[in-house]
Structure 1
C-alpha cells in the first residue's frame, strides 16, 4: 500500500507542473526578488492596442486626384461670351453687368454640377467630393473688374482664337497634381506669351480666364485614409508573450501595469486556488488505482494486496521504471516550446514498456503503456485550450505497442535494437497518418518530427540495453535475456559440469527438455525451467563418483560405506550447489530450483539399507525416516516443482531396461502421485489439473526422447502382398 501511495505521488509530481499554475507572493510597488516567466502564451491586450494606435498614426494622409476637366468650364464661358457679344440688342453696359455677375457664379455652378454628377455615378466617394468642393471654392480666382469691360468688344473670330489657347493652357496645367491652384496660376503668363496670340488685350483676357478656370485637383481623401489606418491596425501583429518569456526580471519594480500583467497570467498568489491541486491528485489516484486493480486481478477475484502475484520488490522495481521513464519524458518536455513542439517526439516513451515486459509481465506492460500515453499527452501538450494533446498520446500508444510485441519473448540482446527500430518505424507511420488527416505543417517541422521519432527509437534501445543489467543485478531479476546468457555452455559452471561430471551434464540437459515442455504446457516459465535444470545438480561436481550417472566402469562407492554417510553425501549436493551458485552470482530463482527440486523427499534406498544392516547386527535402529529426508525447503514455485518432477522422471526412465509406453506412463503417474501424497506440492500453487497436464506432457516428451529404447505393446505385422 505504501508503494501504491508512492505511485500516486509520482504521478502527482509528474502532472502538476503542467496542470497547476505556479503563483508568487508579489506586492504592488515592491521589487521582485526573482525572474518570473510566463507559464503560457498570453496576449498583452493593452500593448496590442497601443501598437495598433501607433500603426494608425504612422499611416500618411491618402490623397486622390480628381479629374475636374476644367477645359469644359472654359468652353462654357466662351460659348456664353460668343452668345452675348453676338446679341446686338444688349447694350454694352448690360453685357458688362452680365459678365460681372454670371462668370464668377458659373465657377461655383460648375463645381456643384461636377459633385452631383460624380456622386450619382459613384466615381468618387462623397467625403472626397465634399472636401474637393470646399477647397476648390476657397481657392476660386477673382477676375479683375477691368477685364469685364474688355470682354464685350471681342469679335467671334477673336473669341474662337482665344478659346483654343485658353483650353490648351488649362489642360496642360491641370495635368499636374495641384494642391494649390496658385502654383499653376503663376505659370499662366509665360504660357500665354508663348502662344500664337499677338494682341495684347487678347493675351490679358486669356491670362485672367485661364487663372479663373484653374483649380486644385489633389485632395486629402479622409475615407481612404481611415480605411488605410483601419487596415494598418488589422495588420498589426498582436503583442504576445510566449511561454517561458520573462515577465518580471529580478530587481524590477512591480508597477501597476506589471501587476495587472501578472494578474492576467494568474501568477499572483492572491488568486491561488487549491482546486487544480486536488484535481491533479484525484487524477493521479485514478492512475494508481488502475495499477492496483490490475495487480489485484492477477491474484484472482480478491482485491487483497497480500494475494498479489507481485512481490514488494517487483512493485518497487515497477515504481523505479515509471520514475525513470517519466523523468526522461519530463526533461525532454522542459525543452519543448510552442514553436518547437516536435521536440516531444524525441522522448523514449517506449523505454518503460520494454523494461516492464522484459523484467516483469507482458500484460502489465500493456496497462503501463496506456498510463504512459495519458501522462505523456499532458507533459507534451503545448496548447492552452486543452489538457491532453492526444496526438502525443496516440504516438506513445503506437510506439509502446510496437515495442511490446517486438520485444515479447526476446531471447537475445539484439532483439532490443530490433525493437527500437520498430519503434522508429511505427512512430513515423503514425505521425505521418496524423499529419495527413490533420492540419498541414511546415516542411521543416515535418522533417524535424520524423527525425526525432527515429532518434527516439534508437534512444529507447540504448536506454533499455543500459538499464537492463542494473535492474537484473539490483533486484535479482532473471529476465529471458539473462537466462539465455546463463544457458551458454561456455559458462564456467556448465563447463565444469560437462568436463567433470559428463553423466550429470547429460542428465541435466534431458531434465531441461522435459521440464521446459511441461512448464509451457501449464503456462509457467519454460525457459526458467530449462536453465534451472542445467544448474540444479551442479553440487554433484564436488563428489561426482558418488552419483550413479557418473559411475562409468568403476565400482559404486556407496557399496562400501555406511548408508548414513551415503545419505549425507547425496543430500549435500543440493546445499553444495546453492553455495557454488552463490559464489558465481547466479540469480536467486536458479538457486531456488537447485535448493528446492528435491524438496523434503525420502531416500528410501539408503533408509532400507540402514534398516537391513541394523537387523543383521541385531541392534535397534537409532534413526527414523525423517533422518533420511532432504532438508528442503519444499518447492516454492511451479518451476521448482516441475524441475523436481522432471529430474525424478528422467532418472527413473533411464533406469528401466526395456521401457514400454505403459511402463513410462505408469512410472510418471506413480512419481507425481508419490510426491503429491508426500505433500511436496503444498507450498507451491500447482493445481490437480496442471499436474495432469504435466504428466501427459512428460509422457509425450519422454517417448519422443527415448523412442529408440521404448518397446511398443505389439508389433504391427506388414500386410501380405497380393499375388
Structure 2
C-alpha cells in the first residue's frame, strides 16, 4: 500500500465536517458569542431588575415582586418625618446678666438723689421715664453685641429678643415716688441685696421669668434689709431686671431634625418581597417607586445593559488573549481547538449554574449560604482537562462573577467577601489537583478547598462586625461543605467530559496504564517479548519527555500501546521469536514489509475498538513516521540482482505509511522505540557504542525529515539523546561492558 493511499485512509476515518469545525473560524466566532451570552445572562438577574408594563391608577394583574432589594421611598419618607417629629425642641441658655440692669438703676438713683438742684417731682418724672427702658435697652445691646458670633445664630438672637421683651415686668408707680427719698447708704445696701438675689435666681436656666420673679419676695425678706420700704423697692427692681435666659434654638432644632432624617434606616422591600399585590391599584407612590427602581418597561434604562455587555466582552477578551498568547488556539497546529473551547464554555456554564442554584437558598437573613457554592468545580475541571494556567485566569472571572451573584447589599455592586473566599478556594484546589494521577487526589483537593475556605471565611468574619455564634457556625460549616461537595461533583463529572470530548487526562492515563486492561493483558499473554519491549520503551520515553517539559505520563502509557498491533501476527516480530525460525527468512521482502508496517495500522484499529483516546492512537500510528525498512529494501535489491532483473520498486515503497510525528510525545516514543530495539540487538554493548548508536538514530531521523511536523528543537533533541543514554545505561547496566582502565606504562628501570 502506498503512503498516499494510507494517508487518505487515515483522513477518511474522521468525517471532514468534524475535522473542519474544530478549526473553523466561523465556529470559533460563534463560540465567542456564546461566551458573551453566558456572562451577560448570568449577570443580568443580579444587576438589571425585571420590568413590568403597568399603568397608573389601574389594578395590577399580577404580584409585582422585587427582583432585588429596593428602597420603599414613600415609607422611608414617612419614617424620616416621624423621626424628625420625635426630636425634642432644643433650647440654649444664654449668658444674660440682669444684674447689669440693677447696677444701672442704682447708679442713676445714687447720682440723681445727690443732685440738690433737681426737685423731687422732677426726680420722680426722670425715674418713671428712664428706668422702665433699661430692660429693653439691655436686651437690644446684648443682641447687637453678639450678632455674628459663630455659636449664636441670628434666629436664636431674634428669639431671645422677642421672648425676653414679651416677658418684661412693669414696675409699680409708687416705687418711683420712693426712690428720691433713699440715702446713699440705703442705696448701697439695697444694691448688694438686689444683685445677690438676681444672680442667685439667674444661675438656673429660666424659661419663664414669672416663675423666678415669684421667688424674689422670699429671698429679699430673708436678707439684711430691715426697712419695709427698702425691701419693697428691692423686690420690684429685682422683678424688673429678671428675664428668661433659656430660649428655643430653632436652628439647632432643625439641624437635629435633619440628622434624625439622615440617620433613619431606609425602608427596604427585600428581594422577593411583593411591591404591588395582584388586584391592588397602582398608586402614584407605588408607580414612582417602581419607576425609580427601573422596574417599569417605559422607564427602563439601557446603560446597565451596556455595562454588562462591556463586562462580558472583557471577560471573553481575557480568555481569548491568554489562549492566543500561549498558542492554545489558532495557528497551524493548535493544541486546543474549537472542541476544547466549547468544553471550556460548558465548564463555565455548569459552574455558573451551581452558583445560581446556591443563590436560590440565599436570602437577606441567611446571606452566608453563598459560602456553600462549589465554585472550585470549574477551576478543578479546567485544571484536570485543559490547563492549570487557564484555570488561574478563569478563577479571576469566577471571583468577579461570584462577588456580583452572591451580593445582597442594595448599595453595592460587588461583595468582595465572597470574591475573596472564591479566590482562595480556587487557588488551593488548582495547586492541589494540577499534578493529580489518581482519583483520590480530587478528594484531597476537595478537603484542601474545605480547609482553606473555612479559614478564609473565619478571617472575613473577624475583619468585620463580629456576627453571633449561630451565624458564624453556619458560615464556617457551609464553607467546609463546599469543598467536599466540589470533590464529589468533580469525580462525577470527569468521566462525562473524558468520554464526550475524548479528553485524555492524567487520571485517565493512569487508569489505562493498568496491566489489567484487556489490551495490555492480551499484549502480555500473547506477545510477552513485545510487552517487555513496550515497558522498556515507556521507561525511556518518560525520562526523555520530562527533561524537555513534554508529557512524560502520556509517553509512558503511549509506549505501552504503541505496538499493540503486533498481537495480530506476533511470530513475525523478532522479540517474539524465541526458539523458532524467523519466517521472514523465507518470505518475499515486499510481503515482509507489508506485514511489518501493518502493525501500526492494526494497532490503531484495535485501539479504536477499545475506545482508547486519540492521543494514544496517534502515538501508535505515528511512532515510526515514514521511516524506511532498509533491511527488507536491501534484501529485495539483492534478490533482484541475483535474478538479473531491474528492480521495479524504489526505497519509497519500503517506508512506513506515516504520518510523521505530529507531537513531541509521538516523536520521543519513536526515538525510544528505535533505541531500545537497537541496544537490545547489540551483543556486547559498551557506553561508547550505545552513545554512538543513539546519536546515529536521532541524526538519521532528523536528516530523513521525521521531525519536520513536530516542534522539537535541536537543543531538545540533544537533551533527549543525553537522557536516553543515561536511562539505557541504568536499564541495561548488567549488559553494558565498561571500558577497562588503561594503566600507565611502567617506567623503565
Same fold per superposition (TM over 0.5):
yes
Partner of 1:15: 43
After TM superposition, the structure 1 = structure 2 runs for residues 576-587 of structure 1, keeping only pairs within 5 Å, are 576-587=602-613
Partner of 1:444: 470
Mark the CA change 1:126 to 1:33 in structure 2 (over 3 Å): closer, same or farther. same
Q: Are residue 547 (structure 1) and residue 573 (structure 2) matched?
A: yes
Q: Are residue 262 (structure 1) and residue 290 (structure 2) matched?
A: yes
CA RMSD of aligned residues (A): 3.3
Partner of 1:351: 377
Post-superposition shift, 1:377? 1.1
Contact 2:46 2:68 in 1 (8 A): no
1-structure distance, mates of 2:647, 2:364? 87
CA offsets 1:357-405 (integer angstroms, 9 cap, x no match): 1111111111111111111111111112222211111111100110011
Q: Are residue 330 (structure 1) and residue 360 (structure 2) matched?
A: no
Contact 2:74 2:285 in 1 (8 A): no
Report the number of matched residues.
575
Q: 1:433 aligns with which of 448, 452, 459?
A: 459
2-structure distance, mates of 1:581, 1:281? 46
Partner of 1:710: 736
Per the normalisation by structure 2, the TM-score is 0.71
Partner of 1:499: 525
Contact 1:298 1:309 in 2 (8 A): no
2-structure distance, mates of 1:400, 1:667? 49
Post-superposition shift, 1:35? 2.5
Q: Look up the SS of the partner of 1:247 in the other structure.
A: strand
Post-superposition shift, 1:56? 11
Contact 1:28 1:259 in 2 (8 A): yes
Post-superposition shift, 1:714? 2.6
Q: Are residue 33 (structure 1) and residue 61 (structure 2) matched?
A: yes
1-structure distance, mates of 2:707, 2:566? 25
Contact 2:201 2:212 in 1 (8 A): no
2-structure distance, mates of 1:273, 1:237? 27
Q: Look up the SS of the partner of 1:10 in the other structure.
A: helix
- Structure 1, unmatched stretches of 5+, are 60-115, 135-221
Q: 2:708 aligns with which of 679, 682, 691?
A: 682
CA offsets 1:482-511 (integer angstroms, 9 cap, x no match): 000000011111111111111000000000
Contact 1:119 1:126 in 2 (8 A): no
Contact 1:614 1:621 in 2 (8 A): yes
Post-superposition shift, 1:256? 1.9
Contact 2:376 2:425 in 1 (8 A): yes
Q: 2:552 aligns with which of 526, 529, 534?
A: 526
Partner of 1:375: 401
Partner of 1:613: 639
2-structure distance, mates of 1:239, 1:277? 27
Q: 1:46 aligns with which of 74, 80, 88?
A: 74
Post-superposition shift, 1:625? 1.5
1-structure distance, mates of 2:210, 2:355? 68
Mark the CA change 1:542 to 1:119 in structure 2 (over 3 Å): closer, same or farther. farther
Q: 1:296 aligns with which of 315, 324, 344?
A: 324
Contact 1:596 1:632 in 2 (8 A): yes
CA offsets 1:593-648 (integer angstroms, 9 cap, x no match): 11111111111111111111122222222222122111111111111111011000
CA offsets 1:502-540 (integer angstroms, 9 cap, x no match): 100000000000101111111111000000000000111
Contact 2:380 2:430 in 1 (8 A): yes
Contact 2:402 2:419 in 1 (8 A): yes
Per the normalisation by structure 1, the TM-score is 0.74
Partner of 2:507: 481
Q: Are residue 644 (structure 1) and residue 706 (structure 2) matched?
A: no
1-structure distance, mates of 2:526, 2:370? 57
Post-superposition shift, 1:120? 4.8
Q: 1:658 aligns with which of 671, 678, 684?
A: 684
Partner of 2:308: 280
Mark the CA change 1:351 to 1:132 in structure 2 (over 3 Å): closer, same or farther. farther
Q: Are residue 490 (structure 1) and residue 539 (structure 2) matched?
A: no
Post-superposition shift, 1:305? 5.8
Contact 2:294 2:301 in 1 (8 A): no
- Structure 2, unmatched stretches of 5+, are 1-27, 88-197, 215-247
2-structure distance, mates of 1:58, 1:289? 56
